[in-house]
Amino acid sequence: MNLMAFFKTYNFPVVFTRAANVYGPGQQLYRIIPRTILYFLTNKKLELHGGGKSVRSFVHIRDVVEGTLLVARKAPPGEIYHFSTPRNISILYLVQMIAEKLGVSFADHVEVAQEQLGKDSAYLLDSAKAQETLGWQGKISLEEGVTETIEWIKSNLNEIQKQPLSYIHKP
């Protein structure tokens, strides 16, 4: 809001981007995709909060980076762009897909848990403006991106297992 006020008052050259549910190799381990992969590879039970009913649209980090570069190069000051995919899936579907890709039993590796307090039922963004005005298009499918993330975790598993699996707040 401060930057938008600077833009409106002083014509400060700023543009804004928003992306939710960004994933890919190197992502924090407490996020659902790397956490699921890691738990399945190490035979830990994954807690599926609320039965996985929440809906998300996952976008690969390289697609977000490409969009951000387009915004930096082409967007007029003061504009706002969202980066997302039109594919909205449940967390349950995502976890089932990862189990299938890893060849593990969903039933043996997942435990339904109570929904987390304050959890949003959906995180969805509309990227039509970025597509229409900048020509941005997400190129990496969820299946491709999850496979890439699985391979990254497998090839770095020894080091990854030394890292904390839960969020650590850094003041």
pTM to 2 decimal places: 0.90
Which domains, from first to last, does the chain contain?
2-160 (3.40.50.720)
* Distance separating alpha carbons of residues 21 and 87, to the nearest angstrom: 12
Convert 31-88 into a string of H (helix), E (strand) and C (coil). Answer: CHHHHHHHHHHCCCCEEEEHHHCCEECCEEHHHHHHHHHHHHHHCCCCCEEEECCCCC
Question: Is residue 113 a contact partner of residue 48, using CB atoms and an 8 Å limit?
Answer: yes
**Interval 45-96: pLDDT, tens:** 999 988 899 999 999 999 999 999 999 999 999 999 999 999 999 999 999 9
Is the per-residue pLDDT at 115 higher than 80? Answer: no
